[in-house]
């Protein structure tokens, strides 16, 4: 039996158990994937002693704070400063960031010609935001990070968004949990009155399928995309990592 799981808090929204347990069943693999909703990372060292884990995923709010608890980091996870996948091998834990792969592939599938983009606004400055920014830098798409409060990873706060700024950035990416179940009646606080059919709205939220953020965008004529393809792509890359000796 192989053991996998996901840590975060809360975890009622997680798609990963159904995804991976379904995969195990379809492939005839003796394995289980469970949720481990820990309310503080101090519980992590004891948690991983409970079973001989092969792999774990990491979600909100621990993608950044998990790093000191790991033995090593893959180069991309180190550069981004966030981890969403852990590989266990011979008692050693190594952190990876498969959000990078998932976001880049889903973005290029959705918008093959980046010449249609004037720039991107990244809503949120947490672990998922760091993966998105890493990809935008690699694809040479200019961007600004928008946060609730000023900080070293934040270019502007929401209250500073103007019509002029939105005109120069027609890709808007929500990396926050706003709109995700059970917060379905929430959305990022941007001036929606300025957006129109020239805009692309990408929401990393996948539950519900159409968040309030995307719903407003659709009403404004925007092209919209949710996070389910990214989620599937990053999950498949995590599976590859867990089953490859060296990657």
- Assess whether 62 and 111 both reside in one domain: no
- Assess whether 137 and 195 both reside in one domain: yes
Q: Catalytic amino acids?
A: 63
List C-alpha distances in Å: 173 to 48, 72, 78: 34, 30, 23
DSSP label of 115: G
Maximal CA-CA distance, the chain: 57
- Assess whether 92 and 174 both reside in one domain: no
Look at residue 245 in the predicted model and tell me its pLDDT: 61
- Assess whether 61 and 82 both reside in one domain: yes
The alpha carbons of the chain give a radius of gyration, in whole angstroms, of 18
Look at residue 12 in the predicted model and tell me its pLDDT: 78
Look at residue 10 in the predicted model and tell me its pLDDT: 87
Residues in the chain: 247
- Assess whether 113 and 221 both reside in one domain: yes
- Assess whether 86 and 69 both reside in one domain: yes
Residue 190 resides in a domain: yes
Specify the CATH number for the domain of residue 140.
3.40.50.720
Structure tokens at 89: 């091998």
Q: Which strand (E) or helix (H) includes residue 239?
A: helix 228-242
For 246, other C-beta atoms within 10 Å of its C-beta total 4
Specify the CATH number for the domain of residue 79.
3.40.50.10860
Beta-strand pair 85-89/92-96 = antiparallel
Domain that holds residue 51: 2-96
DSSP label of 186: -
- Assess whether 9 and 129 both reside in one domain: no
Residue 213 resides in a domain: yes
Residue 238 resides in a domain: no
- Assess whether 124 and 90 both reside in one domain: no
- Assess whether 63 and 129 both reside in one domain: no
Residue 242 resides in a domain: no
Residue 51: closest CA among 67, 38, 66, 32? 32
- Assess whether 6 and 87 both reside in one domain: yes
Contact 92, 71 (CB under 8 A): yes
Residue 47 resides in a domain: yes
The C-alpha atoms of residue 98 and residue 235 are separated, in whole angstroms, by 7
Residue 49 resides in a domain: yes
Look at residue 152 in the predicted model and tell me its pLDDT: 87
Residue 139: closest CA among 113, 176, 170? 113
The C-alpha atoms of residue 187 and residue 189 are separated, in whole angstroms, by 6
- Assess whether 52 and 131 both reside in one domain: no
Domain boundary, last residue among 66, 96, 126: 96
List C-alpha distances in Å: 8 to 76, 113, 179: 21, 35, 18
- Assess whether 79 and 115 both reside in one domain: no
The C-alpha atoms of residue 132 and residue 115 are separated, in whole angstroms, by 18
- Per residue of the chain (247 residues), give pLDDT as tens: 999 999 999 887 788 999 999 999 999 999 999 999 999 999 999 999 999 999 999 998 999 999 999 999 999 999 999 999 999 999 999 999 999 999 999 999 999 999 999 999 999 999 999 999 999 999 999 999 999 999 888 999 999 999 999 999 999 999 999 999 888 999 999 999 999 999 999 999 999 999 999 999 999 999 999 999 999 999 999 999 999 865 4
The number of folded domains in the chain is 2
């Amino acid at each position: 039996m192989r053991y996998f799981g996901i840590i975060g808090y809360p975890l009622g929204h997680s798609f990963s158990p159904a995804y991976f347990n379904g995969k195990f069943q379809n492939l005839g693999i003796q394995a289980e994937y469970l949720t481990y909703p820990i309310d503080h990372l101090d519980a992590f060292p004891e948690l991983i002693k409970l079973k001989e884990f092969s792999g774990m995923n990491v979600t909100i709010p621990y993608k950044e704070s998990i790093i000191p608890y790991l033995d090593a980091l893959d180069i991309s996870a180190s550069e981004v400063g966030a981890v969403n996948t852990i590989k266990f091998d011979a008692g050693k834990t190594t952190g990876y960031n498969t959000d990078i792969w998932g976001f880049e592939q889903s973005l290029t599938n959705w918008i093959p010609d980046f010449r249609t983009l004037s720039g991107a606004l990244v809503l949120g400055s947490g672990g998922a935001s760091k993966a998105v920014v890493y990809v935008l830098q690699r694809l040479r798409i200019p961007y600004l990070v928008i946060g609730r409060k000023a900080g070293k990873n934040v270019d502007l706060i929401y209250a500073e968004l103007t019509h002029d700024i939105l005109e120069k950035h027609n890709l808007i990416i929500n990396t926050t949990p706003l709109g995700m179940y059970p917060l379905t009646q929430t959305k990022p606080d941007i001036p929606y009155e300025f957006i129109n059919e020239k805009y692309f709205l990408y929401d990393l939220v996948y539950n519900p399928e159409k968040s309030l953020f995307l719903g407003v965008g659709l009403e404004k004529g925007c092209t919209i995309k949710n996070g389910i393809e990214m989620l599937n792509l990053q999950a498949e890359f995590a599976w590859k990592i867990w089953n490859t000796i060296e990657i």
